[in-house]
Structures are given as structure tokens and as C-alpha cells.
Amino acid sequence: MPLESQQSNQVTVMVSDALAPAKVQNLRYTVSQGKVSLAWDPVTTNSDSSPLTDLAAYRVYRKDDEGSSPVLVGTVASTIDNQVTNFDDTTMLDGASYLYIVTAVDNEATPNESVASDELPVKTIPSVPQNLQATSGDGHTHLTWDSVLDGGNAKKNENLAGYNVYRSDDGGATFNKIGSVDKNTLSYQDNTVAIGQQYIYAVTAFDNSP
């Protein structure tokens, strides 16, 4: 019978999961003033199609353009039993173009991160024009406002195409567009006013989307 020694020192090991979650699918968005709202389908399998049991979070990345590196803009805590599959980005700039990417990560000590989702192109809504001023003359109203362009940041409102001018004849209940100017024009003269009539004006910025 073989002679057997005493036991060596003991060592504890936890078997880790080397499988990453599957790729995030159906990334989509809506935009509102100052916000991009993202949503995607829940990830329920690993990269090999086996059931995913250890989902920990989704990571949301943003790129300025095709050639730039993705920057992490948010992490959404999520589990298989409590999936959270949406994220609001309020750190983007107005009137700009971005590419968004989402990945899934598990809860391993060194998290396994999924293959990146397909890149989602998004245009944000231009900034609201500020400091609208109106002066009236004989049969006309002259409007001026501040540019939404930022001389110190070319990314902000990079897609700006121009400004739309609206007028209300009924105390602000309804507004009708009466004209447009290009992005370099910060004034508009309304020559269709009636003497003695009160008007309310508003200006919006629009981008170069088709």
C-alpha cells in the first residue's frame, strides 16, 4: 500500500465564468430639448447562446464621430430578474452629431463585457435662441437674437442651418411661421404687420436634417 504524506497547504478557488453576455440588439433613441433617450432589447443569453444568469449592468458609450474613441457616459445597473434597458444622456451638446454604443457586462470579479452594439447615429436638437428683441416701426417689426453657435466649441450646434421666425396674432394661443433666415443671420424684419395690432414673436433654431 502506498505511503501517503500529510495534506499540503489548502487553497481556495472560485471557478469564474469566462463567457461574456451576448451583443446588445435593437439600440434606438428619441431626442428632446437637451436630452437623448436610449433604449435597447434585454440581453438574456451569453455569447455562446447559453442562458445568462449573472448580468450586472449595461455600459453606454458615445463617440463624436467615426474616427474618435468611445467615451463612457453612463452605467445602468441591471440584473436578469430586474432588467433596466434605457438611459437618458443629458451631457451631450445641443445641435450635434454623435454615435452611441451599448454593451452588457456580468458580475464576475473581472467583468466580462459583451461585443459592442451596432453604432447608433444621433443628431441632438439645436439650442433655443436667446435674447430675442423686437422693435416696431412704421408698418414693420424688426427682430434680433443671439447666435446659438459657440465660438469656443465647434461641436455645439455644428449642424445648425438657420432660424425660423414665428408670430402669434391671438395672444400666444397659436403661432405661425412667417419666415426663415440662414445660420449667419441674426435678425428678421416682418413687413406684414398691421398698425395697432399686437403680436407675439418667437424664434427657433433648425439643423441641416433633410
Residue 105 and residue 69 in one domain: yes
Domain match, 39 and 119 both: yes
Q: What is the 3-state secondary structure (H, E, C) of the chain?
A: CCCCCCCCCCCCCCCCCCCCECCCCCCEEEEECCEEEEECCCCCEECCCCECCCEEEEEEEEECCCCCCCEEEEEEECCCCCCCCEEEECCCCCCCEEEEEEEEEECCCCCCECCCCCCEEEECCCCCCCCCEEEEECCEEEEECCCCCCCCCCCCCCCEEEEEEEEECCCCCCCEEEEEEECCCCEEEECCCCCCCCCEEEEEEEECCC
Measured torsion, CA atoms of residues 155, 159, 161, 165, in degrees rounded to the nearest 10: -80
Across 49-62, average pLDDT: 97
For residue 200, being part of any structural domain is answered with: yes
pLDDT(163) > 70: yes
- Domain-embedded: residue 182: yes
Q: Are residues 72 and 152 in the same domain?
A: no
For residues 106 and 141, membership in a common domain is answered with: no
Residues 37 and 108 in one domain: yes
**In the structure, what pLDDT confidence band is assigned to residue 14 with cuts at 50, 70 and 90?**
low
Note whether 49 and 107 are same-domain residues: yes
pLDDT for the residue numbered 33: 98
Last residue of a domain, one of 99, 123, 147: 123
Domain boundary, last residue among 73, 104, 123: 123
Cβ atoms 169, 124 nearer than 8 A? no
pLDDT of 8:
82
Residue 18 has a pLDDT of 79
Q: Is residue 99 part of a domain?
A: yes
Does residue 71 register a pLDDT over 70? yes
111 and 169 in one domain? no
pLDDT single digits (tens) 93-140? 999 999 999 999 999 989 999 999 999 999 999 999 999 999 998 889
Task: Indicate the number of domains in the chain.
Answer: 2
**23: Cβ–Cβ under 8 A, 6 or more apart, which residues?**
43, 47, 114, 115, 116, 117
Pair (57, 84) in one structural domain: yes
Is the pLDDT at 11 greater than 90, yes or no? Answer: no
The C-alpha cell that represents 17 in the structure block:
465564468
Residue 6 lies in a domain: no
Nearest-angstrom CA–CA distance, 159 and 176: 24
- The answer, yes or no, to whether residue 15 has pLDDT greater than 60, is no
Residues 142-166 have a mean pLDDT of 97
Is the pLDDT reported for residue 200 higher than 80?
Answer: yes
Asked if residue 155 and residue 107 are part of one domain, the reply reads: no
pLDDT-above-90 percentage for the chain: 88
Q: Are residues 139 and 200 in the same domain?
A: yes
Specify the long-range contacts of residues 199-202, CB closer than 8 Å, at least 24 apart: 199/141, 199/167, 199/168, 199/169, 200/167, 200/168, 200/171, 200/172, 200/175, 201/132, 201/134, 201/141, 201/143, 201/165, 201/166, 201/167, 201/168, 202/132, 202/165, 202/166, 202/167, 202/168, 202/175
* Domain hosting residue 139, numbered range: 133-207
Q: Is residue 149 part of a domain?
A: yes
Whether the full predicted model's pTM is greater than 0.85, yes or no, is yes
Residue 5: pLDDT band (50, 70, 90) is: low
Which of 80, 104, 123 represents a domain boundary (last residue)?
123
Does residue 19 lie in a domain region?
no
> Smallest Cα–Cα separation from 60: which of 114, 19, 9, 96?
114
Confidence check: pLDDT of 83 > 90: yes
User: What CATH number has the domain bearing residue 108?
Assistant: 2.60.40.10
Same domain, 115 and 179: no
Has residue 19 got a pLDDT over 60?
A: yes
Is residue 71, in this structure, part of any structural domain at all? Answer: yes
- 16, part of any domain: no
State residue 64's pLDDT score: 98
151 with 116, same domain: the answer is no
Residue 43 pLDDT: 98
pLDDT of residue 13: 63
